């Protein structure tokens, strides 16, 4: 990864922040994007102190103009793009029947359209460099996760979009990786939207038992290095779940319902 130019969206916390630190440690030049300037500035200062060439850019990926600017500023500074990691995302926790439709729109705008916008404007440069475009989805991009209709829908959409991009560019040496972490210790559940669209404020799950963001970042970096097409993380909540979705889908529906119903203050029982 020495001197590779890597763009990471949603870089101010969680997996995104861990990815920035991981790639910096491998000698890459990192472009970190997020809506939060204070958090970006703090991360940028840490990276610069370690000798990394880092470019912080405030961007809301639900804005096409912000995504275009992210790519433009990267090219102005570094002249190329080797890796685009579409990591920015938000979640939700509510029954669909209770959910304001604006919540679903926000999930699609950030998760799906953010990936589409960034990929669209970065694609010419990634084709030039024979680089990598990465989408960080979730196991919810393989199964319908109860209480997370908008989240699952957006992650399924990202997977379909990027799988198609891979096939379209099969003869152009573009690497496309779709990453599906299991439950990961990050702040995504703290800021997940309720039925009314407000942040739920605290996670309903035991974060200490989850895979760390640092471990996820390490595995993603290795998968990019070896140009894998997919990466499913964790065994029980990841690989086994995807296996069951193919061979025992109705049983998995029951298990998913039962598992999510155990959460504190679950929206369904």
Query: If pLDDT is split at 50, 70 and 90, which confidence band does 260 have?
Result: confident
Q: Determine the pLDDT at residue 111.
A: 96
Q: Please tell me what DSSP assigns to residue 238.
A: I
**Beta bridge pairs of residue 84:** 7, 133
What is the tens place of the pLDDT at every residue in 82-135? 999 999 999 888 888 888 899 999 999 999 999 999 999 999 999 999 999 999
Residues in contact with 246: Cβ distance below 8 Å, sequence separation at least 6, in sequence order: none
Q: Determine the pLDDT at residue 143.
A: 86
Q: Please tell me what DSSP assigns to residue 110.
A: I
The SS3 call for residue 135 is strand
Per CATH, the number for 5-261 is 3.40.50.720
CA dihedral (173, 214, 266, 196) positive or negative:
negative
What is the tens place of the pLDDT at every residue in 187-199? 554 577 777 666 6
Query: If pLDDT is split at 50, 70 and 90, which confidence band does 200 have?
Result: low
Catalytic residue, from 142, 151, 218, 257: name it.
151
pLDDT at 222 over 70: yes
- Environment class of 190 (CB within 10 Å of its CB; exposed 0-12, middle 13-18, buried 19+): middle
Q: How many CB atoms lie within 10 A of CB 206?
A: 10
What is the tens place of the pLDDT at every residue in 240-255? 877 887 887 787 777 7
Q: What percent of the chain has pLDDT over 90?
A: 63
Tokens of 37: 């300037």
* Helices marked H in 169-248: 213-225, 240-247
Q: Can 142 be counted among the known catalytic residues?
A: no
d(CA 51, CA 250): 52
Written in H, E and C, the secondary structure of 73-92 is HHHHHHCCCCEEEECCCCCE
**pTM for the predicted model, two decimal places:** 0.87
Longest pairwise C-alpha distance within the chain:
53
How many helices (H) does the chain have, and how many strands (E)? Answer: 9, 9
Q: Determine the pLDDT at residue 92.
A: 86
pLDDT at 55 over 90: yes
Q: Which has more confidence, 173 or 252? A: 173
Q: How many CB atoms lie within 10 A of CB 77?
A: 13
Does an H or E element contain 179, and which? Answer: strand 175-180
Tokens of 55: 């470019």
pLDDT at 177 over 60: yes
Q: What is the mean pLDDT of residues 65-90?
A: 96
CA distances from 164 to 76, 104, 160, 170 (A): 29, 23, 6, 10
Pick from 126-140, 145-159, 229-243: least confident:
229-243
Q: Determine the pLDDT at residue 257.
A: 75
Residue 151 near residue 92 (C-beta atoms within 8 A):
yes
Q: What percent of the chain has pLDDT over 70?
A: 88
């Amino acid at each position: 990864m020495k001197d590779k130019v890597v763009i990471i969206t949603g870089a101010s916390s969680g997996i995104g922040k861990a990815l920035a630190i991981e790639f910096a440690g491998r000698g890459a030049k990192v472009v970190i994007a997020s809506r939060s300037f204070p958090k970006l500035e703090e991360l940028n200062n840490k990276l610069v102190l370690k000798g990394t060439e880092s470019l912080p850019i405030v961007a809301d990926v639900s804005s096409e103009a912000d995504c275009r600017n992210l790519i433009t500023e990267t090219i102005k500074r570094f002249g190329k793009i080797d890796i685009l990691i579409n990591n920015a995302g938000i979640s939700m926790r509510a029954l669909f029947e209770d959910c304001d439709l604006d919540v679903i729109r926000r999930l699609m705008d950030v998760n799906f359209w953010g990936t589409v916008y960034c990929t669209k404007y970065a694609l010419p440069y990634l084709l030039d460099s024979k680089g990598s475009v990465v989408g960080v989805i979730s196991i919810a991009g393989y199964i319908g996760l109860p209480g997370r209709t908008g989240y699952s829908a957006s992650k399924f959409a990202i997977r379909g979009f990027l799988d198609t991009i891979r096939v379209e560019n099969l003869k152009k040496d573009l690497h496309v990786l779709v990453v599906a972490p299991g439950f990961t210790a990050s702040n995504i559940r703290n800021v997940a939207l309720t039925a009314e669209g407000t942040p739920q404020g605290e996670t309903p799950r035991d974060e200490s038992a989850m895979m760390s963001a640092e471990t996820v970042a390490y595995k993603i970096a290795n998968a990019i290095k070896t140009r894998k097409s997919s990466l499913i993380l964790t065994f029980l909540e990841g690989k086994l779940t995807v296996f069951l979705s193919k061979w025992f889908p109705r049983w998995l529906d029951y298990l998913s319902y039962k598992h999510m119903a155990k959460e504190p203050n679950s929206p369904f029982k």
